[in-house]
Amino acid sequence: MEARIACLPSERTLTAEAGGIVMDAIYAAGIPIASSCGGQGVCGDCRVRVVAGRTHLAAAYPDPGPWVLRHGEPDGEVLSCRVTATGPVTLATSYW
């Protein structure tokens, strides 16, 4: 099964393997997204704003990661390294 991820402001849509890490799918599509911790949930740089489809995002790991534990879940945003897409979502990235 696959999930459709629309990325703003690039206006590109990519198809990701359902259950795969969102940040990995974004990288694989060549869309720039910041991450200084390599997807360990430490830096918070890979935060993306959820524009649509929040119910189609699921936690990839049992814990939310060190950044969220320190700062709390960002309102309207998720760490793309800590979630999977199970259906269509629209995300806005700040790139750098």
pLDDT tens, 9-48? 988 999 988 789 999 999 999 998 888 998 899 999 999 9
pLDDT tens, 76-86? 999 999 999 99
User: In the chain, how many domains are there?
Assistant: 1
- For the domain that residue 40 is a member of, what is the CATH number? 3.10.20.30
Sign of CA dihedral 17, 19, 24, 30: positive
* Cβ pair 15, 2 in contact under 8 A: yes
**29 DSSP assignment:** T
Q: Tell me which residue range forms the domain holding 11.
A: 2-93
Burial class (CB in 10 A: 0-12, 13-18, 19+), 60: buried
Give residue 74's pLDDT band: very low, low, confident or very high (50, 70, 90).
confident
